[in-house]
Amino acid sequence: MSEAAAEPGEQTAPGAREGAAKADTPANRPRVLLAENIGRSGAELLEQQFDVDDGAGWTREELAQRIGGYDGILIRSGTRLDEELLARAGRLKAVGRAGVGVDNVDVPAATRRGIVVANAPQSNVITAAEHTMALLLALARNIPLAHASLTGGAWERSRLSGVELHGKTLGILGFGRVGQLVAQRARGFGMHVVGFDPYVTAERYRELGVERAASIDDVYAAADFLTLHLPKTPETDGILDAAALAKCRDGVRVLNVARGSLVVEDDLRAALDSGKVAGAALDVFSSEPVTEHQLFGYPNVIVTPHLGASTAEATDRAGFQAAEQVVAALTGGVVTSAVNLPAIAAEDADLLGPFVPLCRALGRIAAALGEGSSIDRVETEFLGRIAERDTRLLALGALLGVLSGHTEEDVGVVNAPALAEERGIELAEIKRTAARDYTDLVRVTVVGGEQRERVVGTLFGRGDRPHLLEAWGQRFDVQLEDHLTIFRYRDVPGMIGRVGTIFGQHGININSAAVGRQPDGGAPGGDGGLAAMVITTDTAVPTEVLAEILSGAGFVAARTVSL
């Protein structure tokens, strides 16, 4: 915009200014920059309390020169706030991202500078759910193909006959906000809905009248229509591949309005060619933007250019919600969708600060050990000196570890409780000022039905090195590294050597290993002859390597976690 280069004090846009405050406003009012168009409602909310400038037309060089004069900034996806820009933002206290993701913000750099980064995680959930339903109906009734046929001069009623949704089974992988909204709408069409998401409680499924599948394979086997609403993680990347499609019903129809990387597109094409998959509706792709694709032109494939979040209402809602968060951050209010860690009080920072990453790691490990069951409850226990302090941040860190990578939204310590509540996950915190054998202990337990998985850890030494002390009912003492693998096996000679041999054959270097012992001091193998070992490695252990080890006699279970 031509006004972008205006000198401070000049008018730039209706209701938005650059430069010093007007004469009739306090000179010390916080200044907020709209680096992109966030919509009128959001801008008006900000203008009620701040001096708001419009920088939507600024180049990166202009932004770098002028960002140091602002207390808050609002962006969408077009502005990249990297460490270089944030280093120039000496006054900046809040970043509002008018959208769900924060991939274009260097969140760790912002956190180091005490800058709150907040997004609008609920802004597009309705829009995404409605787009899913639009594609579901279009796929069932061949609407795009029928439109093209009729406008092309043909009347092909018999060839374009579709199928009813009523009485069909919709399988949903990922039962977060969007998945739950899709389920509600699908049930309105008389569909039977079956979902899989271990991070949602059985009670929440019952409330929505949705069948909770015991495994992902059960969804594949039941679904007439299969829709994906999963986050992008190493575990979900390429989850719908040839092996998964082979487990589906013949003639299944597939929808993806989540992330393009969830689907192996070559495998989907092969399944369409063979007739295994009767049709597909795709709003997202492995590489975007894309105008030429191997599935474009398939008569039974519907495609849209990533429109899941694209409605006027969602755009305005995202801007308003992001503005609300910036207002809260700059006025001392409660920021409900911050994705980075809140500051630790100065008097507690030295003691509690190092425990935050430990709690997050223990949460991830506990969730991994409980894999295959739902998560109904997360219990945290703090023993020793730390129990004398405000440990809520530590409890939230453990919850963050449990949820991380398992929600559609970016999860942070601030929004983790709300995400847990939506999924029906109960939180509990216990504190005791005495800890046997150690100065401080942290216990994290994940409860799912009758299953309880507890892990215990602490910090050692001047470097506050995190150690795992208990898992799968047995005690260890192993320093936590980035990649951790735990085995449960029959307590017979040679098992550790077998693991080492197979790791070596696959070029996986072992950093450390520890064999468990019973908490009461008994020997390994006290649990019905089962023992456990923990191994840390330089790199992540591939699932096919775990499968190879588990195929050997005596190995019962294995979990690998990347911290």
3-class DSSP state for residue 491? coil
In the residue annotation, 259 being an active-site residue is answered as yes
Q: d(Cα 513, Cα 522) in Å, to the nearest integer?
A: 19
Active-site position among 288, 292, 450, 544: 288
Q: Which residues touch 204 (CB under 8 Å, ≥6 apart)?
A: 175, 180, 422, 423, 424
Which residue matches tokens 């409660």? 334
Q: d(Cα 154, Cα 359) in Å, to the nearest integer?
A: 64
Please check whether residue 494 is in contact with residue 555, taking contact to mean a CB–CB distance below 8 angstroms: no
In the residue annotation, 388 being an active-site residue is answered as no
Structure tokens at 106: 């260097």
In the residue annotation, 306 being an active-site residue is answered as yes
3-class DSSP state for residue 428? strand
Q: Whole-angstrom distance between the N-terminal and C-terminal Cα of the chain?
A: 45
Residue in 222, 228, 184, 223 with CA at minimum distance from that of residue 205: 184
For the chain, what is the total number of helices (H) and then of strands (E)? 18, 24
Please check whether residue 228 is in contact with residue 240, taking contact to mean a CB–CB distance below 8 angstroms: yes
Active-site position among 306, 377, 392, 452: 306
Q: d(Cα 503, Cα 506) in Å, to the nearest integer?
A: 5
Active-site position among 66, 212, 249, 259: 259
Phi, psi of 330, rounded to the nearest 5 degrees: -90, -10
The helix (H) or strand (E) run that includes residue 100 is: none
Residue in 332, 353, 357, 330 with CA at minimum distance from that of residue 343: 353
- The set of catalytic residues is 259, 288, 306
